[in-house]
Amino acid sequence: MNRIKEVLAQKGCSQTWLCEELDKSYNMVNSYVQNRRQPRLEVLYEIAEILDVDVKDLIVSNRTKKKNKRN
């Protein structure tokens, strides 16, 4: 799971803009944003660089998911 959608919203950026910056199709970026597909690690780092965030900000921690399942 990733947080690309949330970070885009926080930064006030659109998916279309990210497509252009990544040189990827809208469908590909939309699939990342909707968590239907996860970007390769290299692409995730590129997205983090473009959005000027730490790559960790784009990832949902597996520990957070485990805590939520317990509660």
Q: Which of 49, 1, 21, 42 is nearest to 29 (CA)?
A: 21
Domains and CATH numbers, the chain: 4-70 (1.10.260.40)
pLDDT (mean) for 1-22: 96
For the cut 70, the answer to whether the pLDDT of residue 65 exceeds it is: no
pLDDT tens digits, 31-52: 999 999 999 999 999 999 999 9
pLDDT reported for residue 70: 58
Residues contacting residue 29 through CB under 8 Å, at least 6 positions apart:
15, 18, 19, 22
**Biggest CA-to-CA distance, the chain:** 41
- Is the pLDDT at 10 greater than 60? The verdict is yes
User: What pLDDT shows up at residue 25?
Assistant: 98
Q: In sequence order, what are the beta bridge partners of 59?
A: 2
In degrees, to the nearest 5, what angle opens at C-alpha 70 toward C-alphas 64 and 71?
95
